[in-house]
Amino acid sequence: RFKMTTEMQKKMTELEELLKKIKINSQKRDNKNKKNFSLNFQFGMGRSINALNAGGFETPHNFIKGRGVFMKPIDEQNIPKWKKNLWYAAKEILLEIDPVYAENDDFVVNFAHMNDSQNHFVKKHTDNCDISFQYALALGEFTGGELTVESSTGETNTIDFQRKILKVDGRLPHQVETFCGDRYTVIFYKLFDRTKSEKDPVFEPAVIV
């Protein structure tokens, strides 16, 4: 079991400060019908997948036919320095939580920000492309914003993971509850893992680790 330490709290604060400096507004989808999600920003970095041989996706996925994996290391990518700094700050946290999960950098880390309780939302959805469970961390000064996860039998569990590490399977239906303030999330998930030959079984119930 992961043990929260003073050093880990410090790393969370350092990552939070980096997130607060981001000056982009890039993610509003389905704001009219409010069926899916709308956020101030959202972006991911890491082992993403796409159609095989699409630009940057020339490495075949090891067990999903027709999919390619983006394998270029973060240091070699033409992305801003602040994004690289975010990646490494987040990876330090993941290495403390689960070094096996972090092996070979075979994961994606997603960063998101919600700050408008009237217009920002994440409705119930599933992350069907995932091949394993996720680790999630919420940062910022906010109230509410818990994650409600539905089990395979239809039961729901609402979990507060502000400055806590949540182990959850995105392939189960989940949604963000209403909130007030600035809510940042850092989500680690897997679309590819060179050590696996098939998707992991669904992990449940979600738990703070």
The pLDDT tens digits of the residues spanning 63-110 come to 999 999 999 999 999 999 999 999 999 999 999 999 999 999 999 999
**Contact 143/191 with Cβ under 8 angstroms?**
no
CB of 117 closer than 8 Å to CB of 142: no
What pLDDT score does 70 carry? 98
* pLDDT (tens digit per residue) in 147-169: 999 999 999 999 999 999 999 99
Q: Rounded CA gap, 98 and 102, in Å?
A: 7
Alpha carbon 52 to its chain centroid, in Å, reads 23
Classify the C-alpha dihedral 78-83-87-89 as positive or negative. Answer: positive
- Per-residue pLDDT, averaged over 52-58, amounts to 96
Q: Is the pLDDT of residue 17 over 70?
A: yes
Q: What is the pLDDT of residue 35?
A: 74
Q: What is the mean pLDDT of residues 159-182?
A: 98
Q: Tokens standing for 162?
A: 């502000």
Does residue 45 carry a pLDDT above 70? yes
d(CA 122, CA 34): 9
